[in-house]
Amino acid sequence: MKHALLLILAYAALVTETTLAPELSLAGGVIRPLWLVLAMSLCICRGTSVAVWAAVLGFASDCLRGSGPLGLDLVLCLLVVATLPDLLVRRATRSAAGFGLLVATLVFTIDGGSLLVRGGLPENLPTVLLDGLLTTVAGLVGLLLFRSCNRLLQPVPLGS
């Protein structure tokens, strides 16, 4: 069931990144919803399924970029996911601050590494920082909305 949910979220992230994200750009920064789905997959899944989701989302990011070597974001996603400390992932499942730190780590390392290899990091550094900030804020707002809606939908115990 969790993989079906992640598949729906990945599809929504692809649609959002291709249609809505360019329209919502703020001073050149764009929200990267693919990394939000990757952070969610890190919190939900364990073992090889995390690596599969990292590869799928990294390949989708490569296809959306359209320039540079194909497979670069895929390799970067796999490297970042493989080297993330377990403490960061466990903290991300418990608190909004931990989830924000996880999203920021993914955005800055994957997008920053991708731009560095493509040869454009020094002039694009403010854009990478703004992208990371926008994606982290969007992820935190989504997480807080999800938690508040989840609390509203839970049954209330009957009083005595």
* Mean pLDDT calculated for residue range 6-24: 84
Q: By C-alpha distance, which of 11, 9, 80, 16 is closest to 40?
A: 9
- Residue 141 or 152, more confident: 141
Domain boundaries, the chain: 2-19+31-152
- For residue 57, pLDDT over 90 is answered with yes
What is the predicted pLDDT for the residue at 157? 64
* Mean pLDDT calculated for residue range 50-57: 92
Write down the mean pLDDT value for the chain.
80
Beta-carbon count within 10 A of 76 CB: 23
- For residue 13, pLDDT over 80 is answered with yes
Cα distance between residue 81 and residue 15, in whole Å: 24
What is the predicted pLDDT for the residue at 158? 62
What is the predicted pLDDT for the residue at 52? 92
Fold annotation for 2-19+31-152: Arp2/3 complex 21 kDa subunit ARPC3 (1.10.1760)
Q: What is the pLDDT of residues 95-113, one digit of tens each?
A: 877 888 888 888 888 887 8
What is the predicted pLDDT for the residue at 110? 86
- Residue 18 or 21, more confident: 18
Tokens of 158: 């009957």
Q: What is the pLDDT of residues 119-150, one digit of tens each?
A: 766 676 777 777 777 777 877 877 777 767 66
What is the predicted pLDDT for the residue at 8? 92
